[in-house]
Amino acid sequence: MTTHAPQATQSVTLPASLDEAVAALGAMPAAVPVAGGTDLMSAVNKGLLRPSGLVGLGRISELRGWHYQDGHALLGAGLTHARMGRPDFAALIPALAASARAAGPPQIRNAGTLGGNIATAAPTGDALPVLAALEAELVIAGPGGARREIPVSHLLAGRDMLEPAELIGFVRVPLLHAPQVFLKATGRTGPGRATASVAIVLDPARRGVRCAVGAIAPMPLRPLEAERWIASLIDWDGERGLAPDALAAFGEYVAAACIPDQPPSDGGEAVPLPPAVLHLRRTVAALARRALGRALS
Ligand SMILES: Cc1cc2nc3c(=O)[nH]c(=O)nc-3n(C[C@H](O)[C@H](O)[C@H](O)COP(=O)(O)OP(=O)(O)OC[C@H]3O[C@@H](n4cnc5c(N)ncnc54)[C@H](O)[C@@H]3O)c2cc1C
């Protein structure tokens, strides 16, 4: 269906399937996809973007749910934060549900989608550290029914940009059946963008702890050495608890890996971190310690 809107945008197309949406983008190279519009329309309203056409993804029902495949969930890119925050989804992928519940005020959660969060790739995107810790893959839809898969980290790093007529169709997430935690600091009470966030995912089958820190760098950071160190301390066949000093040391390890000390000055003296950076480092340490403590409790 094509309607004509006044002013800057010439046409709005509302396809009913993923392949139709890809075909519409191919036919209108200057058009952009829009899902919930929470990021895109604020860019339009600020005058940062004047798309000559929009391809709306809101009527594509295959993108609004999920299905199971080989021990994974294939999440439609059109899943809203509100949908992911519900209990049935939280039972499947607890950390993604927690990040969805933390993503902005209710009107944003009702409209904003998983695919939009990924494509915008803002450092403060709440889903992104969770997807990094889960080592999620993206299923990209291209012309002629083509599908290709890439790690989400490649898209966030800009190493594998989407072609103009490609769309994020699905996000493949492993179902780990183990505790996962997402925590976010906003520097204010009530909903707000993250100043720092931490996702912790336990993977008992691989005896692994996966951690990603969001909002403090252009893309989520994985403190791999800290992950391996803490995983080696956990009694995977027993209680899985850790002493408070091990949790605290993990928090410090994660924070120092993500926000390293400054190199010594020419005179060999340690250069102290600026107070705001030190504060951020303490925030990351506290989030990582608490998140792991909750995952293991
Ligand atoms: C007031 C406010 C508060 C917010 N607070 C938070 C917050 O706390 N945490 C947070 O994470 N985010 C927050 N956001 C950002 C935003 O809501 C999320 O990033 C949301 O998930 C974007 O999804 P959307 O469907 O609205 O994307 P849209 O605005 O529709 O699209 C965003 C971008 O993604 C592209 N796109 C959309 N879907 C696809 C697809 N399937 N394939 C390829 N490209 C696609 C669009 O072309 C566009 O470039 C906030 C936004 C506002 C306005």
Distance, CA of 239 to CA of 296 (rounded, Å): 9
Cβ neighbours for 205, distance < 8 A, ≥ 6 positions apart: 176
β-strands 31-34, 53-56: how paired? Answer: parallel
> What's residue 9's pLDDT?
54
Please tell me whether residue 50 adopts helix, strand or coil conformation: coil
Ligand 1 atom closest to the Cα of residue 162 is 43
> What's residue 5's pLDDT?
43
Note whether 255 and 278 are within 8 A (CB): no
251 C-beta closer than 6 A to ligand 1:
no
Residue type, 217: A
Among 18, 40, 219, name the best residue to mutate to test ligand 1's pocket (greatest count of ligand atoms within 8 A of Cβ).
40
β-strands 2-3, 11-13: how paired? Answer: antiparallel
Residue 130 Cα to ligand 1 middle (Å): 16
85 C-beta closer than 6 A to ligand 1:
no
Ligand 1 atom closest to the Cα of residue 38 is 26
Residue type, 293: G
Sign of CA dihedral 40, 41, 46, 47: positive
Residue 77 Cα to ligand 1 middle (Å): 11
Residue 89 Cα to ligand 1 middle (Å): 20
Tens of each residue's pLDDT in the chain, 297 residues: 444 444 455 699 999 999 999 999 999 988 999 999 999 999 999 999 999 999 999 999 999 999 999 999 999 999 999 999 999 999 999 999 999 999 999 999 999 999 999 999 999 999 999 999 999 999 999 999 999 999 999 999 988 889 989 999 999 999 999 999 999 999 877 778 999 999 999 999 999 999 999 999 999 999 999 999 999 999 999 888 899 999 999 999 999 999 999 888 777 887 889 999 999 999 999 999 999 999 999
CATH number of the 61-174 domain: 3.30.465.10
Ligand 1 atom closest to the Cα of residue 128 is 11
Among 12, 74, 113, 189, name the best residue to mutate to test ligand 1's pocket (greatest count of ligand atoms within 8 A of Cβ).
113
**Residue that is written with structure tokens 């190199």 in the block:** 263
Ligand 1 atom closest to the Cα of residue 40 is 29
Same fold: 11-56 with 61-174: no
Residue 23 Cα to ligand 1 middle (Å): 22
> What's residue 267's pLDDT?
73
Residue 106 Cα to ligand 1 middle (Å): 14
> What's residue 292's pLDDT?
98
Please state the separation of Cα 222 from the chain's center in Å.
Answer: 13
Token duo for residue 127: 């889903």
CATH architecture of 180-296: 2-Layer Sandwich (3.30)
> What's residue 168's pLDDT?
98
Residue type, 290: R
39 C-beta closer than 6 A to ligand 1:
yes
Return the exposure string of 195-220: e unless at least 16 CB atoms fall within 10 Å of the residue's CB, then b: bbbbbbbbbeeeebbbbbbbbbeebb
CATH number of the 11-56 domain: 3.30.43
How many Å is the Cα radius of gyration of the chain? 21
Cβ neighbours for 245, distance < 8 A, ≥ 6 positions apart: none
Long-range contact list for 249-252, CB < 8 A, 24+ apart? 250/226, 250/288, 250/289, 250/292, 251/284, 251/285, 251/286, 251/287, 251/288, 251/289, 251/290, 251/292, 252/285
Structure pTM?
A: 0.94
Q: What are the extents of the domains in the chain?
A: 11-56, 61-174, 180-296
Distance, CA of 75 to CA of 99 (rounded, Å): 15
Residue 112 Cα to ligand 1 middle (Å): 5
